[in-house]
Amino acid sequence: MLFGLRCPACGMTTSWSWLTRGDLVASASANLSGMLLGLFVVLLLVLGLRLVWYGRSLSRRVNWWVGFGVVFIGVLSVAEWLVRLQFD
């Protein structure tokens, strides 16, 4: 906590911990954007392994969706933080 306020990432480590155990409900309740970020990283890992295996770059459509995912999770993280500030 900084200045008595929760940070946007409060609960994210707990969320990742629950995610690695496969408990999506507990992960989402700890920090929804943390759970989505963890799942997104797994997807990026799969896409990266595909890139290494085939030696070809990803299509522009995939690159666009990756960029969209990063922005979406960032916006969701800030929105979730603002909601939690109102109810804590």
pLDDT of residue 22: 94
- Judged by DSSP in three states, 5 sits in strand
Instruction: Quote the DSSP letter at residue 4.
Output: T
Residue 56 has what pLDDT?
80
CA 72 to chain CA mean position, Å: 9
Prediction pTM value: 0.80
pLDDT digits (tens, 9 = 90+) for 40-68: 999 999 988 988 898 887 777 888 898 99
**Residue for token digits 């994210």?**
12
Question: Coil, strand or helix: which one is 2?
Answer: strand
Residue 31 and residue 53 in contact, taking contact as beta carbons nearer than 8 Å: no
Domain chopping of the chain, boundaries: 12-87
